[in-house]
Structure 1
């Protein structure tokens, strides 16, 4: 009887794992002459300058309604993906943005689709982060095209604006080769986290859509699918307009599951997986898979009987008057480059987890208590602690529904974490290392191969909320997308069917 082949998502994940015995042969060095520019340029178009509307820090001035709307849109885009620092590098400059990106490569692009408002004419716009402006490159109304591509999603019925996020593949592939596909969607998840939280500061509400006809959205944006592809669509409801405060619909639709794939050479795997995880024209997004009833309530997967259990109930992080501390935290966020090795407190760890996983606790601060993800029930969280006061060193499973940590291994893992994180001192010196994982086989059975995108975007989204909570508490934080995959499961004692998606390190900054 012939052996059943893995899906392309599983095949890709296995092919792009880092292994201690082979990683040296894959590191061929970078051709700096081919380094991609992380900005998109258009030769023609109408520019809408957003800089005049970002200069005022408050949205509560006595400006007229039109000016207030521009200020809100300007803040949403700037806090989501604006330039926040200029760093010298090799005789030139590197511009940092409000959302983190692996290697500072920023593969994501933001487009705005306007249905046609008195202030923003119908058409297509690219957010030019370098100049903080919108460039209108298409003047016709394409809203119905977007609705058709998204299977007439209810969030597009009454909204007037939508953000479309795309990925320019080469920006990440130049450095990370085929494994870049993972990082692209982690970076997109960081951006989704920023959009969610930035919107709350200026009375917008994003509705996440991951199920759409890729070709239709790409064609609508006039992008070359060989170079760039749509990754997420977000209708933006204006909460000051009661007609736009809509119930959310399905965030994720399944794709086909590809098992009859050819032998794919190195260097072509990224392009292949993106192509075969598309939802094709003429499908409903359901294909031959069973109907999926999305459950927004999070369930705990691992029970681990007889283990020590520690409650994570805590007081909430204060985000200031009208969330002003949230906006400033987003803009000053930076990845920590070195930790001192000093301990964090258990209360600090609890606060990070509470903000990231328990949005319902923040209703009094007017944050969204039910933000959109693709499916958080697919994501599991494990934490290796090496320096948390009041918490024994070891590996813990975080159970978000029960709001508790469950200890599964007793050991200080500093030496192993240093090795797992490719010898990066961040892994060794961190007080705690947070791992996001997923049962890839079970996830594919539910959503098809497209779930690989959803998993990494959700992991990046959670990672960005950890980032911002840490920065607010003056804790160092840094995400790590490069690690020895199989060794993580082995060292931490977590199930082998858990595919490691993302690592976030936290600790005292140097």
Structure 2
């Protein structure tokens, strides 16, 4: 039943040339949900002012094991949260002003919420970890659950653990407010929330690597247990504005810490003191989308035993970027339009971007499973490559099944020894790419655009909740491409609007064995000179 509900949702929310998936008939901008969730009645933990620069270059992140680990202190915890989920800038046009963040989001609506969980005996940690404090006189983050407010760069203490736990360092919990996306995108919004969760995982991985830390996905957890730990199952939320649990991540700072005791952690949350109520997101909820609740329930994850898929790290095409990692992370933007007459993208930069999304690279060290997402690329303007359609299978075992599922006319000629890139068809595909991506010029005016194709049918057959994980993998690829585009002096944009089955027809897919789940495009951006760019946290300068 759950599997069929997920499949029905997926098929129902496909866009087609004849019709778009169900969405609001009109957009009431006064009804837009607040981007910044706050909980009233919580103790506020003010983090050190953001914006500090770190030494590692963006190119250094290819070898994160060589980056010295920063100490676990308040400043570095703040940097982790800022670089992963914080503001990157403000934009202003006339009286309108809106924030941009380091983690990208469909429509800049930001359904993803982040929580920090601090563990350990507070008295012992106060002697061992310097610089972490919450209120005058303390020098540590007290054990408990905290909600991160990106606007204020602060933490709200939602729960204070009453039990002393083994010091397992810090955890990051992620959840989604589906309504934030549904307000604009209607029924298809559940897909976009999952993309954004993948973006957030990628942003967290890059932020941690910049500090010399790493991220471990706690994939065994059930959604119910995540909800209990983060307080999402409590009656602290306005109707229709609840959060759905997604993932718990453990931050490995390479300091001494104990194994994570999930049972003890959940017991501490259940017996702890909880504070605060979620403020209203100030939306009227003019439209209701019950199918999102239905698919969310059907795709709910139980507790599982997860095997570890260990990719053998391979040499990566070296990055030529000389900027620091923090600079690249903070300058990431989504391009609104591209220069359709750009000079061809150097082939070395193109190959570097594609190499960076392979599962054997450091960017995917947190991903615990065999890759299920493969790229089909519309090359428009790349030096030394004929315009046309190309494919990048992200593991060798998929090559034969992809060849069998696609058009017989595709020649599948390998064009590079450095990466598994295959030529399929030569020709000017700019108009095709534009049409398939809901007639958007960003798909044709770029250097290249692509579709992320999932090993779909068998994955959903195995477990319906893996539907979400397929989109997470897409978002992780997207975040990597976003940063690689910036490092190459270009800009990327994720594309959630495309005509699903028209893409499948073009490639030759005849059933649900493979499905396209996300599109992306990279090119030379055209900046809108009418917009003023303001500092990310200039509004905090006057706060004492």
TM-score bracket for the superposition, by shorter chain length: 0.7 to 0.9
Once the two structures are superposed, residues 170-189 of structure 1 have per-residue CA deviations (whole angstroms, 9 ceiling, x without a partner) of: 11110111110110010111
Instruction: Return the offset for 1:72.
Output: 1.4
Q: Superposition pairs for residues 112-191 of structure 1, below 5 Å?
A: 112-116=116-120, 117-118=125-126, 119-141=140-162, 159-191=168-200
The answer (yes or no) to whether the contact 2:494–2:518 under 8 Å persists in 1 is yes
- Who is 1:251 aligned against? none
Provide the rounded CA distance (Å) in 2 between the counterparts of 1:79 and 1:383: 29
Report the more deviating stretch, 197-206 or 182-191. Answer: 197-206
More moved, 477-486 vs 432-441? 432-441
Relative to structure 1, the CA distance from residue 244 to residue 215 in structure 2 (aligned partners, 3 Å threshold; closer, same or farther) is: closer
Over 3 Å counting, the alpha-carbon distance change for 1:424 and 1:34 in structure 2 is: same
Between the aligned partners of 2:360 and 2:227, the Cα distance in structure 1 is: 33
Distance (Å, rounded) in 2 between the aligned partners of 1:298 and 1:314 = 12
Alignment of 1:69-468 (within 5 A): 69-88=73-92, 91-116=95-120, 117-118=125-126, 119-141=140-162, 159-223=168-232, 227-239=242-254, 241-243=255-257, 267-280=289-302, 284-285=303-304, 293-297=307-311, 315-318=317-320, 325-341=324-340, 342=342, 343-357=344-358, 360=361, 368=362, 371-373=365-367, 375-401=369-395, 403-446=419-462, 448-468=463-483
Q: Spell out the pairing of 1:2-17 with structure 2 (5 A cutoff).
A: 7-17=4-14
1:65-113, CA deviations, whole angstroms, 9 ceiling, x for partnerless residues? 9987222111111000111111236834211111111111000100011
Q: Distance in 2 between matches of 1:423 and 1:463?
A: 21
Deviates more, 1:133-142 or 1:433-442: 133-142
Cα distance change on mapping 1:123 and 1:387 into 2, 3 Å: same
- Give, in whole Å, the separation in 2 of the partners of 1:174 and 1:109: 17
Q: 2:485 matched to 1:485?
A: no
Shift of 1:59: 7.3
Cα distance in 2, alignment partners of residues 335 and 143 from structure 1: 44
Distance 1:376 1:95, change over 3 A: farther
User: How many angstroms apart in 1 are the aligned matches of 2:82 and 2:43?
Assistant: 19
SS in 1 for 2:421: strand
Tell me, in whole angstroms, the C-alpha distance in 1 between the residues paired with 2:115 and 2:147: 4
The structural deviation recorded for 1:508 is: 2.3
**In structure 2, C-alpha distance between the alignment counterparts of 1:245 and 1:389, rounded to whole Å:** 50
Task: Output the CA distance in 2 between the equivalents of 1:488 and 1:166.
Answer: 30
Query: Equivalents in 2 of 1:205, 1:25: separation in Å?
Result: 40
Structure 2 unaligned regions, length at least 5: 57-68, 127-139, 235-239, 261-286, 397-418, 527-544
Aligned partner of residue 207 in structure 1, secondary structure: strand
**CA 25–5 in structure 1, closer or farther in 2 if over 3 Å, else same:** closer
CA contact (8 A) 1:115 1:142 kept: no
When residues 59 and 330 of structure 1 are mapped into structure 2, their CA distance, relative to the original with a 3 A threshold, is closer
Give, in angstroms, the shift of residue 416 of structure 1. Answer: 1.1
Alpha carbons of 1:495 and 1:57: their partners in 2 closer, same or farther (altered >3 Å)? Answer: same
SS state at 1:409 partner:
strand
After TM superposition, the score normalised by the length of structure 1 is 0.79
CA distance in 1, matches of 2:143, 2:257: 19
Corresponding residue SS for 1:269? helix
**Cα gap change, 1:25 to 1:460, in 2 (>3 Å):** closer
How far apart in 2 are the matches of 1:137 and 1:490? 49
CA shift, 1:317, in A, is: 0.9
Q: 1:345 to 1:172 in 2, by over 3 A?
A: same
State the match for 1:40 in structure 2.
37
For residues 252-273 of structure 1, give each alpha carbon's deviation from its aligned partner in whole angstroms, at most 9, with x where no partner exists.
xxxxxxxxxxxxx982111111
Aligned-partner Cα distance in 2 for 1:358–1:6: 27
Change (3 A) 1:223 1:370: closer
Structure with larger RCO (C-alpha < 8 A, sep 6+): 2
SS of residue in 1 equivalent to 2:53:
coil
Deviations 1:33-84 (A, max 9, x none): 22100111121222221133x3542479xxxx99872221111110001111
Instruction: With the length of structure 2 as denominator, give the TM-score of the two structures.
Output: 0.74
Q: Residues 314 and 441 from structure 1, CA distance in 2 versus in 1: closer, same or farther, beyond 3 angstroms?
A: closer
